[in-house]
Amino acid sequence: MADVREILAGLELLRLAGFQAPPAWAGKKPGEVATVWAAELGDMPDGDFERAIQAWLRRDTAFYPSTGQLRALVAPAVTDADLGAAGRSAWQTVQATRHKVREHNGRGYQWRSDEHERRFRAHVGPVAWAALETIGGLAAIERAGFVPDEGKELSGLESRFVADFRTIAKRVSVGAAPLDRPQIGAAPARAIGADADLAPSVAERLRVHAMRGAS
């Protein structure tokens, strides 16, 4: 397990190698930073923190890593098949919960309230939300439901959603383009309406997958 002493040694290696600390660390002592990192990385298996630091030292970058980037360096590889399965699961979650947060006002669908939109967005997670936006949002799915084409348009939207989910998840996993929140857990049960019994968010399922792979 990564402790404060091991983390202090890693921070010193990064400093001696010439990496630049983030501006937010200005005025903070190494021990303060190490304490925060220990709280965030304390569950890493023995040796993983040192391996992550060594891997970062070989990278072509001028800056210190974030704790999330260090985790990613030693996390089990997530395959395209894993991301595709997660994308399909995310689509099912969207389909299963969208009717709980949207209502028809006679002219079209709208959010039941701003709070319903916020909780739905938090529940599906930032990757699924971003993928949903690329296909036109829930409005595109709702319109497809009225197209008399035996579900072809809806099936096409699902394919695009899963493909975009895979692309976005890959980008986020390497820290290239963080979304609203790098990691987001499941929304609390019953968070969306009194009758909602929501499954864990996609990001949480990916996190659990990575933890299982590391065990």
Structure pTM?
0.55
Please name the residue that has the structure tokens 């006679």: 106
Per-residue pLDDT of the chain (215 residues; tens, 9 = 90+): 789 999 999 999 999 999 999 998 999 999 999 999 999 998 888 899 999 999 999 999 999 999 999 998 888 777 889 999 999 999 999 999 999 999 998 888 999 999 999 999 999 999 999 999 999 999 999 999 889 988 999 999 999 999 999 999 988 765 443 343 333 233 333 344 433 334 444 444 455 444 444 44
Report which of 177, 176, 159, 172 is spatially closest to residue 202, judged by C-alpha positions: 172
Which residues, in sequence order, are CB contacts of 123 under 8 Å at separation 6+? 93, 97, 186, 187, 191, 192, 198, 201
Tokens of 210: 């990575």
Distance CA 87, CA 89 (A): 5
Q: Amino acid identity, residue 54?
A: Q
Largest CA distance in the chain: 65
3 state SS of 107: coil
